[in-house]
Structure 1
Amino acid sequence: MIAAAQTGAAPLARHNLFQTDDLDRARAIVARQFCDHRLERASRDAPFAALHNRAAGQALSLNYLCYGADVCIDPGELRGFYLIQIPVAGGAEVANGGDAVTVGRGAGTILNPTRPTRMRWGAGCQKLLIQIERRALNALAADWAGHELPASVLFRTHMDFTTAPGRDWLRRAMACFRAAECGQVFGAARTPAQGLIEEELMLSLLRFQENSAQHFLDRPATGPVPAHVRRARDIIHARLTEEFTMRELAAEAGTSLRNLQVGFAQSHGIGPLQYLRGERLKLARFRLISDGPGARVGDIAAALGFAHLGRFSSAYRAAFGEPPRQTLARGAP
């Protein structure tokens, strides 16, 4: 873990953006990098002394930020980006939508852009921040799912870095900060590897941190996939909400129904109809998590071609270990 700036240089010191004891100036500069927000002192226990270091990449930016004083921050919805916050000193209270957590070292938070955020950073709180463009992360999730997602990915707010997957992701993130401090990536470096580094950090985040699209990343590895099966799979992903027969699918994929059945069985261990139903169940789960308390299980099932609610519920429970109403009631991670 990168150390707090109690003595010596702060993290990302070569990428300093500003340092000031003027609260209004700090708020204005931070707003230009992130979004407009309310920033107020919560107490007079410590002097206000803001410091912001920032190394921009392509779809991500790495940041170190502290205010010195005990402050309240209210940005509302972030809209255009996700924001990961990793305390390196002190602690903070963070609320994103209905999730409210208190974090210090060993934990972090990820702010969802479509949910209102409120925070209180205690005096002496110092954080590493990773800003991720909403568009880039959701495009990556859609690529992995194989089709467009009907809503933005929602993450569980609290990040636990004491687990093995959490420690592994944190090591990846800290390696990015160390490389940026050395001038190897981010900032003015902009090496050819920059996009690959950012993509891997986002993809590992989707794997590690509980989110509404995580089940799309759980596909088991398969053997070689014939071209006609790949074509059929692409058609399925593009038309998940449309009705079509397996004969029509085979014709559009340029093969016979028998070849399609045999190809799916050999490469995926199931037939094309079972594959289609499985992908529709995954999309149903995403919508049950994302659509909110006003959604209805029957409407979501019908929109995805499940005409019989009872059979849909049974198939859903078999796939995900819980009935769809339980997923809907629990909501986002």
Structure 2
Amino acid sequence: MTYLQNHTILSSGDLDEVRESIKNLAARHDLDVKGRQADFHARVAAVERDDINLMHVTFGNARLSVESSEEDDDGLLLYLVTSGTGVAQHCGEDLEFSANAGFMRDLAVPVSATEDDFGAVVLRLSKNKLKNHARSLVGDDVDLKGLRFNPVIDPATPGWNVFRHTVDYVAHNLDGPLRDVQNPFITTQMKDMLFTQCLSLLPNSYQDVMNGRAVTEIVPYYVKRARDHIHAHAHKKLGLADIAAAAGCGYRGLQKGFMDAYGKPPIAYLRTVRLKRVRTILKTELNGKTVAEVARQWGFSHMGRFAKDYQREFGELPSETIRKYV
């Protein structure tokens, strides 16, 4: 199957041209050919519709070395390998991948790889947008931690073939029947299907929640004390020293405990609790108060920063919440 054949943007054996093309579409990758330069010939195809960003890349019969530094705290690149093999060092692990497998690159972490005869469909994703999609499905009351995916997805992983077929379906339609159709409702429907299956079928830290299974992680006692203190005193002025004193441990231990348990440091956890309290009020009981008054009540003094944090957490502005629920 030739992916996105009507969206080919580059077919070239010029390594510098290929580097520049991929950098502009996904992330900077320092590519080098190991062996005969004549064996290298790249084809790059890409299509973008709203939050769907798909590419297909092939590099001929060449062996490549790939180096890429950290690029973007929010970005993920999911490679659905269509040909060849590779080995990579990523997220502190030595990884191997082959045709029909998946490789999830976290753009916040550098990667070093060697690839042979490599080709892949590449789906660019946003951690924040995936998190907001998960929240829209499971509700605001579920405590969603930092989103982490397994770097390598084995072809035998349950659900992987279903997800691959969905990507094939989306790529086929964007390249064919829907190539000239600009319909945001259809695009949103395809995006929702991709996001839901990505979170539900691929191994990640949200998968149990997305599939209705209880998450049974053991949280250290001192983290529980700190967490309970935050929930009980979120309306008061709280700093890291206050939280650490309530937990009965040092700053570093508390920071690590929260990162392990909730994927964020205690002050960020406190901010999330406060944002949820504000959202509850905006949805149910404004009682004549303004958004600014409610925000200040819960410790947010800078309205511009508050609005950005709120939108990042819930995928909408405070004013949109009010219009939707009040």
Q: TM-score, normalised by structure 2?
A: 0.62
**Partners of 1:243 and 1:139 in 2: how far apart?**
26
> What letter corresponds to residue 28 of structure 2 in structure 1?
D
> What letter corresponds to residue 288 of structure 1 in structure 2?
D
Helix, strand or coil: the match of 2:69?
strand
Structure 2 counterpart of 1:314: none
**Partners of 1:194 and 1:82 in 2: how far apart?**
20
Structure 2 counterpart of 1:243: 232
2:188 corresponds to which of 192, 195, 199: 195
Structure 2 counterpart of 1:88: 82
Structure 2 counterpart of 1:288: 260
1:219 is aligned to 2:208: no
**Paired residues of 1:150 and 1:287 also in contact (CA < 8 A):** no
1:98 is aligned to 2:98: no
Out of 49-58 and 124-133, give the one that drifted further: 124-133
Count of aligned pairs: 233
Q: TM-score, normalised by structure 1?
A: 0.61
List gaps (5 residues or longer) in structure 2: 214-227, 234-255, 271-326
The Cα offsets for residues 146-199 of structure 1, whole Å up to 9 and x where unpaired, read as 269786411001112324422222221211122122142xx6533221012112
The 5 A counterparts of 1:148-159 are 152-159=146-153
141 and 49 in structure 1: CA distance in 2 versus 1, 3 angstrom threshold: same
Helix, strand or coil: the match of 1:67?
strand
> Cα distance, 1:78 vs. partner?
3.9
The 5 A counterparts of 1:251-270 are none
Structure 2 counterpart of 1:20: 12
**Partners of 1:61 and 1:286 in 2: how far apart?**
33
> Cα distance, 1:91 vs. partner?
1.3
What do you get for the CA RMSD once the two structures are aligned?
3.5
**Partners of 1:285 and 1:59 in 2: how far apart?**
34
151 and 20 in structure 1: CA distance in 2 versus 1, 3 angstrom threshold: farther
Identity of aligned residues (%): 15
199 and 62 in structure 1: CA distance in 2 versus 1, 3 angstrom threshold: same
**Paired residues of 2:76 and 2:127 also in contact (CA < 8 A):** yes
**Partners of 2:70 and 2:182 in 1: how far apart?**
30
**Paired residues of 2:87 and 2:113 also in contact (CA < 8 A):** yes
> What letter corresponds to residue 48 of structure 1 in structure 2?
F
145 and 110 in structure 1: CA distance in 2 versus 1, 3 angstrom threshold: farther
> Cα distance, 1:15 vs. partner?
0.4
36 and 180 in structure 1: CA distance in 2 versus 1, 3 angstrom threshold: same
1:177 is aligned to 2:171: yes
**Partners of 2:12 and 2:165 in 1: how far apart?**
31
List gaps (5 residues or longer) in structure 1: 4-9, 221-238, 245-283, 304-333
148 and 19 in structure 1: CA distance in 2 versus 1, 3 angstrom threshold: farther
